[in-house]
Chains A and B, each alone.
Chain A
């Protein structure tokens, strides 16, 4: 499903002293099946933006289309539930949404609300728990007995079980250990490819954006600051610095390398260790 924002603005608590415009005249296009990263420093409006994707927030101005659904300032969408079935949102710290007696019931909660049949729900629960790499023995435990990381995985499984076509992730790895972060991102990427999802990732990690995204959108104070292919966008160190963002480690390294040795290595999605091997190979050959 294609997504497009046309001149969207959103104002919190309009007509009060607390009035705050979190998004201003924003236009973006996201193609079906692409992986898009949304970056921006704290308070730039990322979470506000993604809450428009399944109609949790209604634009104050402008229009949003998600597949065949249209959300606009003065119109109520009748098929809100249908839209929400198609757009799965993993919120910042999603473990706060767990409430059922058992993990299995909690994962089944979404599909049940959307009227999925009992047998199919069972299948989806099994699938989802495998996908997030939790042992099946946990299914009958109370979600409140799990560790923080396990709770995170269980709540993500609850969103995946809805079988959404668009998956929205709001800093899904915040607060996990480095290894867990990497595993989880790999997991989302695999899902993205296998199920041909449209994935929208809000992240503070330039590394993740560089590694997984087809397109990066950088927000600054509620407006679009930059947009493009990550490997190209991240070359503009000055522009990034202006909005308090850093260049990813690998790119930084390539810059430094060129400055010191006068050799320019092309960036081809290598990780730091792959890059090290590549340089070692070159040294051996020369």
Chain B
């Protein structure tokens, strides 16, 4: 019940990574995710892992906590590994598990693919761990700004994103509250047949929807009352600025990329 953690829920802090311009973080992570697929030798994987772990340590968030936050995807990572282990039939036979042959390529491919997967998710979760949803939206709005020329509704998209992100914790809290109230009235969410449990959801969903709609209405009203009329001519409270540390981060990242191309086989 009290395990309401989501993957990469923002953890307040003041580390170097926290203070980076969110655009820097998004751009670096975007390219990192892209270049993961270029790694093909143990050394190149080692380099990328080193980069990921170092970034994680720089955030000053405890590593076990970050890893535990990946709990929902651990299963997938392990599953991918075993899938490759048993399905790939190339290279030489390393050993037999009950007469079932395990090939050398299976081990290396399995490791490579799950490592990629792991790095991908870990690095992206670093973004959300160290950046508030509002910062992320601001950054996306700023990065997508050129699309305005082709009449893409950048501001509206960003607004929609920030509103939904803002209300996720509220909805989680609300869900918890209502489910407690209904549990006190004898609803059992945890045991019983599938049909019973499906029915138990109704007393939870109805109040949730009612309050979500009411919230949306209140919000729209409040925005209008305060004279909101879209992005045209609107200035920003939080200005994004590229600082020295951002340049440093880019330079370091480019070094890693250059290293990647030298360590590739």
- Interface bits A198-223 vs B (CB < 8 Å: 1, else 0): 00000000000000000000000000
Q: How far is the CA of A13 from the CA of B3 in the complex (A)?
A: 6
Q: Is B198 interfacial (CB 8 A cutoff)?
A: no
Question: How many residues on A have C-beta within 8 angstroms of the other chain's C-beta atoms?
Answer: 30
Chain B neighbourhood of A65, CB < 8 A: none
Contact of A113 among B5, B186, B207 (CB under 8 A): B186
A81: B residues at CB distance < 8 A: 186, 188
Say whether A88 contacts B187, CB under 8 Å: no
- Chain A residues within an 8 Å CB radius of B177: 91, 96
Q: Is the CB of B183 within 8 A of A56?
A: yes
Residues on A with C-beta less than 8 A from B184 are 54, 56, 84, 87-89, 91, 159
A51 in the interface (beta carbon within 8 A): yes
Q: Which residue of B174, B180, B183, B203 contacts A109 across the interface (Cβ within 8 Å)?
A: B203
Whether B2 and A13, one on each chain, are in contact in the complex, defined by CB atoms closer than 8 angstroms, is yes
Name the interface residues of A1-49: CB closer than 8 Å to any CB of B. 12-13, 16-18
Cβ proximity bits B34-75 to A, threshold 8 Å, 1 near / 0 not: 000000000000000000000000000110010000000000
Tell me which residues from 153 to 192 in chain B have a Cβ below 8 Å from any Cβ of chain A.
Answer: 174, 177-178, 180-188
Which residue of A54, A96, A114 contacts B207 across the interface (Cβ within 8 Å)? Answer: A96
B211 touches A113 (CB 8 A): no
Bound Cα distance from A208 to B104, whole angstroms: 76
Given contacts A17-B61, A99-B207, contact A110 B185 (CB under 8 A): yes
- Is A162 an interface position by the 8 A CB rule? yes
Query: Would you call A159 and B185 a contact (CB within 8 A)?
Result: yes
Q: A98: CB under 8 A from chain B?
A: yes
Could you tell me the distance between the alpha carbons of A133 and B203 in the complex, rounded to whole angstroms?
25
Residues from chain B with Cβ under 8 Å of A99 in the complex: 202-203, 206-207, 210
A96 to B176, CA, bound (A): 12
User: B265 on the interface (CB 8 Å rule)?
Assistant: no
Contact of B11 with A by CB under 8 A = yes
**A88 vs B183: C-alpha distance in the bound complex, in angstroms?**
11
Chain B hits for A17, CB < 8 A:
11, 61-62, 65
A18 CA to B183 CA, complexed, in Å: 25
- Bound: A88/B186 CA distance, A: 10
**Cβ contact within 8 Å between A13 and B4:** yes
Q: Which B residue sits closest to A11, measured CB to CB?
A: B2
Encode contact with B along A101-115: 1 for CB under 8 Å, 0 otherwise: 000000001101110
Q: With A and B bound together, what is the CA distance between A99 and B203 in angstroms?
A: 6
B2 and A12 form a contact (CB under 8 A): yes
- With an 8 A cutoff between CB atoms, is A144 at the interface? yes
From residue B195, how far is it (CB to closest CB) to chain A in Å?
15
Query: Which residues of chain B are within 8 angstroms of A94 by Cβ–Cβ distance?
Result: 181
Answer whether A109 and B181 are a contact pair too, CB < 8 Å, given A96-B211, A98-B207, A144-B210: no
A13 partner residues in chain B, CB cutoff 8 A: 2-5
Residues on B with C-beta less than 8 A from A84 are 183-186
Q: B170 to nearest A CB, angstroms?
A: 13
* CB under 8 Å from chain A, chain B span 186-219: 186-188, 202-203, 206-207, 210-211
For B4, list chain A residues within 8 Å (CB).
Answer: 13
Bits for A78-90, please: 1 = Cβ < 8 Å to B, else 0.
0001001101110
Task: Output the residue of B61, B181, B203, B206 with the most chain A CB within 10 A.
Answer: B181
Closest 3 CB pairs of A and B: A113-B186, A99-B206, A97-B181
Q: What residues make up the interface of A, taking CB atoms closer than 8 Å to B?
A: 12-13, 16-18, 51, 54, 56-57, 81, 84-85, 87-89, 91, 94, 96-99, 109-110, 112-114, 144, 158-159, 162
Residues of B within 8 A of A (CB): 1-5, 11, 61-62, 65, 174, 177-178, 180-188, 202-203, 206-207, 210-211
A-B contact pairs, 30 of them (CB 8 A): A12-B2, A13-B2, A13-B4, A13-B5, A17-B11, A17-B61, A17-B65, A56-B180, A57-B1, A57-B2, A81-B188, A84-B183, A84-B185, A87-B184, A88-B184, A91-B180, A96-B174, A96-B181, A96-B211, A97-B178, A98-B207, A99-B202, A99-B207, A99-B210, A109-B203, A113-B186, A114-B186, A144-B210, A159-B184, A162-B186
4 new A-B contacts at CB < 8 Å, known A99-B207, A113-B186 = A89-B181, A91-B184, A94-B181, A97-B185
